[in-house]
Structure 1
Amino acid sequence: MLYVEPSLVRDALGRQASALPFLRKAVLTDPRLMQAIHAAFTDMDTLLEKVAMDELTVLLADGLLANDESAQRTTRSLIDFTATNRAKEYLDGNLDQAVHSEQLEKVTGLDRYSLSRQFRKAFGTSPYRYLTMRRLDQVRGDIAAGASLVDAAVRAGFSDQSHMTRQFKAGYGISPGQWRRLVCKT
């Protein structure tokens, strides 16, 4: 079961909606909602970083709003490239740290939900997914250079080796050990 506090959905919607979305149908097959639910259940056994939880809230709120037949649609907003580039630079410089939404808000001047939407528009992915993929890039480099899986995981900012392994398999379809055997043939 997934429970999201309604106030979080309301905060994520911001000015996009005057009220919480109302869905007339009990069963929906909307790809946006399916993506949000899939993302929420992918790492159920791992404590999610705050940036990841904010992204899930945005995906869910946007999916719910898109399925509310009574909602008034807003016009498209322009991308704030200055803010999104600041966020990207901050993420690149803090791969080994737990990144908090409050930090990204200070760096960009945008609230966490606006940043999530803006970042996705600018780079095609969420800040959390971007951070995860940059961490995995570092892991691949470290493993290719001979680092142990544990050392590679810690150096890249993953909570432990199993967390890194789950993310690696999700990102590349194979485990880090399998990847090492492919790349480090002697």
Structure 2
Amino acid sequence: MLKKLEFDYLVICKFTFVKDTNHPLPVIVEQAELTLAGLQTTMSLAHNTTMQLWQTFGPLKKSIHNKSNGGSYSVQCYADNFMSIPFTPETKFVKWAAVAVFNEDDIPKELEVLKIPKGKWAVFSYKGTISDFGKFAQYVYQEWLPSSGYQLDHRPHYEFMASDYLGPNHPDAQEEVWIPIV
């Protein structure tokens, strides 16, 4: 059953899990261009400034009046050679803290706009703490992706956290993990 959601993507099936594991199988969706407003920083896992980025963005989020949904987006923009070289704790990437907006009008001057191009995505459901996310990412990139028949596309990767997100250290925190594929 197809169900139209507010984000302009179609849900093709319910989330299912790989037999005898906690690893989810993704939902494959086509999504229209997404316009985000937020803050960005260049960082690495070894010099992770995610907490500071969100602490700075939090108060500014309230000043965005044309939000298209109540959730937040954590976006990673990787170099073109992301999958062809080893990803180490020192690998630099651009990290965004953002919200979706209807358009670029009335965006506070302290914020920037990021347009995520339309395309196909593997959308995973992740439940757990940030400290366990590395194991999940390893499964996605080293197990699921190579055996999926899809290839990684060079578009931003992101996580969507609904307005009722419990926070990165809560064991019941849930988010959607969007991986760009072709």
Q: TM-score range by the shorter chain?
A: under 0.3
Larger radius of gyration: 1
TM-score, reference length from structure 1: 0.24
TM-score, reference length from structure 2: 0.24
The one of the two structures with greater contact order (alpha-carbon pairs below 8 A, sep at least 6) is: 2
- Structure with the higher strand share, 1 or 2: 2
